[in-house]
Amino acid sequence: MFESPRQIQSANAGTATVPVGLAPAGEIDFRKLVSILWEGRATIAWTTIASLVAAILFVVVVPHRYTAVTQILIEPTDLRAVNTDINANQTNNEVAVLQVESQVRVLMSDSVLGRVVKAEMLDRDPEFVGRWFGTGADSTTAAINALKHSISVKRAERTYVVDVSVTAREPAKATRIANAIAQAYLTEQTNVRSNAARQISQSLSARLNELKERVRQAEDRAEAYKASHNIVGVNGQLVDEQQLSEVNNQLAQARARTAAAKARYDQIQQVQSAKGEIGAFPEAIQSQTITALRSQYAEVMRREAEQTTSLGARHPAVIEIQAQADRLRRMIDDEVRRVALSARSDYESARANEAAVAANLEKLKGTAITTNEAMVTLRELERDVLASRAVYEAFLVRARETGEQERLDTKNIRIISRAEIPLRRSFPPSSLLLAIAGMLFGVLAGSGMVVMQELYEVPSPHAYGTGNAARGGAAAGMLGGKLFRTITQAWPSIKLSSPPIPVLAVLPNVDVSFGLDAAEDSKSRFAIELRKVLKAVHADHAGREHPSILVVACDDQDDTVSVALTLAAVAASTQRVLLIDADLERRTLSAIDADQNDAGLVDVATGRRQLADVIVRDQQTNINLVSFVSPSSRRDRRISETDVRRAFDQVKRFDMVIVAAVDLTRDPSTSFFAGLVDHIVVVARTDEPYEGPVKRFVSRLGVDARKVRGAVLTGAKSA
């Protein structure tokens, strides 16, 4: 290391202040927040890219899982194949839901899954055996345990539909297993019901012979008793009872006929005695003779009315008509009397028949009483026969039904949706979703890093004194109850016409020696300010390597030396930095006594020297230094821009190249380096009006003005 004192004339501290604005306490300066995020866009971009890469690696590395789903409808009410089923049908909704939930457990039972393992040979599949086989379980048990962790059985809410989901590494395998589980469940249910029916049928058949013998003995006792008491029955009814019932019915019919005949006879007598309407009773109406006579009588009465109206009541024709009417009336009366005599005859005949039937009934009653006394014991015997026969018949029918149910499938369970091969994986999530999540996480993480870095790196409000300089203070953050209480505007932006140049850092009046010492402390405010410059450069250099920076004063001043050296010292703490002194007076190298080299970059351009031979390394700051032109440089021929550009391309092997230059008007090489570098940082004074000089400087750059990343203000008051 060159041990000579780092002498550079310190500028007067001055009295000017930095024109900055401070947001009111408790408010958020969103424009400054956006500016901070924009300055840290490189960090945000890299975190976003890293998150996307992590998401891609996650998708590539993590084994893909595919889920196939089959749907089974489990009706609580079974199909009614026969009148009586083994299991009673449940109609209560709560009971039905419990029954379906129980079937969900059956779907995940070892009996069902064992069938699936056997059918699909999962006990030989490494995916299902490898994880459990080493625990001491056999391959089948290991496959069943693994399958339990790969399936999910769930009943859809408010329905009897059960979703069976199976997850596997291959979509076809997941589909096969899902359908196999549904089929195994149906087979298991059929076998369970068939076995239950077979068991009941066998139990019933074992009791049939005993019940049959009991019925035969009861029937023998009943028949022997009937024979001993002369009790004869036809079609299950005693003969005496049958005759008594028939005679009793005959008596009722005879009494009904007698009552009907008497009613007709009384009605005819009442009509005759009342001298009312001729033939006003049903028998007269039904008589064709009376009906014909009444029709003739009505016609005669009509003629009488017509003749009386036209000829008068005493006319002979009217009198003749009246005589005809009287004759017809007498004929009707005679016919009614004959009907009355017939009704009387019917009534008397009905009474005689009733009396005969009543006498026969009394005779049969005496015989029935004797028989009924014997029937008391007979009925008891017959009840014993009926009870024995009912039990026997019930067992016989039930045994036959359950025997047939072994071959019947009465379960009301069906597969309503078979599993199809899934087109998309279930895990990891879709690539688009992971990409969006990765981008959001990267953006949020990068934004948080940028904001937090800004919160902790900003100098305090009193770093540069009081007055206007104090308004260039910190953006203070509070972590705890709130993410941050306030974000203030730390530095202003120089408002140029197009485009505006932001202020990257504000430095006090210090000499090179103090600046280099301060730069070595990463937590010093001096180093923090300069890291902002580097961060702005890296943000605009995202996606590229080895940035090159031109540090140049906007007018004739020496502040370029301090800024370039300290900026290189801060960067050299983490990377390999080359500092090129483009000033012909070599003031940058002279500031640290590093100008002893007798060659510069020009000698590399002419081919006289190698780049490694002309570079000097400062051991304390780790800065690699080289001058553009050394006093000992030899120019044997005219040097073209192509030669210098070729030499400058060689320095790109360093992580960062910083070129220290002076105003464009003082040295034409400054304009040349402005075309070679990637970024330009302008140095201006805060104690002098700098807007005008900066504008003029940018206008002189021409097309290279787009490389200007911001300004570094020097000469701020120190604390």
* Each residue's pLDDT tens digit, 542-559: 777 889 999 888 766 667
**Kindly report the CA angle at 58 between 56 and 59, in degrees rounded to 5?**
65
Domain-ending residue, one of 389, 407, 439: 389
Nearest to 700 by CA among 677, 678, 680: 680
Label residue 136 left, alpha or beta by phi (over 0 means left) and psi (-120 to 50 means alpha).
Answer: left
Domain-terminating residue out of 352, 371, 389: 389
Q: Are residues 501 and 366 in the same domain?
A: no
Task: Give me the domain span that covers residue 289.
Answer: 237-389
- Residue type for position 336: V
| Spatial contact of 51 and 445, defined as CB atoms under 8 Å apart | yes
Confirm if 683 and 430 have CB atoms less than 8 A apart. Answer: no
- How far is the C-alpha of 106 from the C-alpha of 100, rounded, in Å? 10
pLDDT score at 234 = 66
Residue with tokens 């059929």: 190
E strands, 294-366, are none
Would you say residue 473 has pLDDT above 60?
no
Q: How far is CA 537 from the centre of its chain?
A: 46
Length of the chain: 719
- 105, part of any domain: no
Q: What is the pLDDT of residue 276?
A: 55
Same domain flag for 564 and 692:
yes
Q: What's the confidence (pLDDT) of residue 26?
A: 42
Residues 306-311, mean pLDDT to the nearest whole number: 78
Interatomic CA distance for residues 406 and 204, integer angstroms: 14
- Of the candidates 572, 571, 600, the residue with the CA atom closest to the CA atom of residue 585: 600
Residue 308 lies in a domain: yes
Say whether pLDDT at 535 is over 70: yes
What is the rounded distance in angstroms from the CA atom of residue 315 to the CA atom of residue 311? Answer: 6
CA–CA separation, 641 and 628 (whole Å)? 13
Number of structural domains (the chain) is 2
Q: What are the DSSP calls for 457-470, one per residue? A: HSPPTTTT-SGGGG
The answer to whether the beta carbons of residues 474 and 490 sit under 8 Å apart is yes
Contact present, 660 and 583 (Cβ < 8 Å) = yes
Residue among 485, 481, 487, 401 nearest 451 (CA): 487
Residue 23 in this model has a pLDDT that exceeds 60: no
For residue 556, being part of any structural domain is answered with yes
Q: What's the CA gap between 30 and 464, in Å, rounded?
A: 24
Q: Rounded distance, CA 426 to CA 419, Å?
A: 15
Angle, helices 691-701/668-676, rounded to nearest 10 degrees: 70
In one-letter notation, the amino acid at residue 207 is: R
Instruction: Say whether pLDDT at 488 is over 60.
Output: no
Band (69; pLDDT cuts 50, 70, 90) = very high
- Mean pLDDT over 289-301 rounds to 74
> Omega before 499 cis (within 30°)?
yes
CA 516/CA 625 separation, integer angstroms = 15
**Percent of the chain residues past pLDDT 70, beyond the cut:** 76
Confidence of residue 67 (pLDDT cuts 50, 70, 90): very high
Highest mean pLDDT among 111-125, 483-497, 534-548 belongs to 111-125
Asked if residue 53 is part of any domain, the answer here is no
Name residue, tokens 């002279």.
590
Q: Is residue 8 part of a domain?
A: no
How far is the C-alpha of 217 from the C-alpha of 229, rounded, in Å? 19
HSE, side-chain direction, 13 A CA sphere, residue 248? 9
Q: Which two tokens stand for residue 48?
A: 């976003």
Between CA 589 and CA 512 the distance in angstroms is: 11
**Residue 499 sits in the same domain as residue 632:** yes
How high is the pLDDT of residue 292? 72
| Pair 349, 498 in one domain | no
Residue 517 and residue 377 share a domain: no
Q: How do residues 590-616 score in pLDDT, each as one tens digit?
A: 667 666 677 888 888 888 888 888 888
> Is the CA virtual torsion 8, 10, 16, 20 positive or negative?
positive
Mean pLDDT of the chain: 75
> Residue type for 662, please?
V
Q: 234 has which bridge partners?
A: 237
Same domain, 385 and 500: no
From residue 653, alpha-carbon distances to 13, 545, 548, 611, 649 in Å are 39, 10, 11, 11, 8
More confident residue, 634 or 225: 225
pLDDT band at 492 (very low <50, low <70, confident <90, very high): very low
Task: Give 70's pLDDT tier (boundaries 50, 70, 90).
Answer: very high
> Do the domain assignments include residue 209?
no
Phi-psi group of 131: left, alpha or beta (phi > 0 → left; psi -120 to 50 → alpha; rest → beta): alpha
Rg of the chain (C-alpha set): 62
Asked whether 626 and 541 are in contact (CB, 8 A), the reply is: no
Question: For 614-629, what is the mean pLDDT?
Answer: 84
Helix 30-39, helix 525-540: angle, nearest 10: 70
Q: Give the end of a domain, one of 389, 408, 427.
A: 389
Is residue 37 within 8 Å of 447, Cβ to Cβ?
yes
- φ, ψ for residue 645 (rounded to 5)? -65, -40
CATH of the domain at 630: 3.40.50.300
362 part of a folded domain: yes
Examine residue 696 and state whether it is found in any structural domain, yes or no: yes
Residue 441: φ, ψ to 5°:
-65, -45
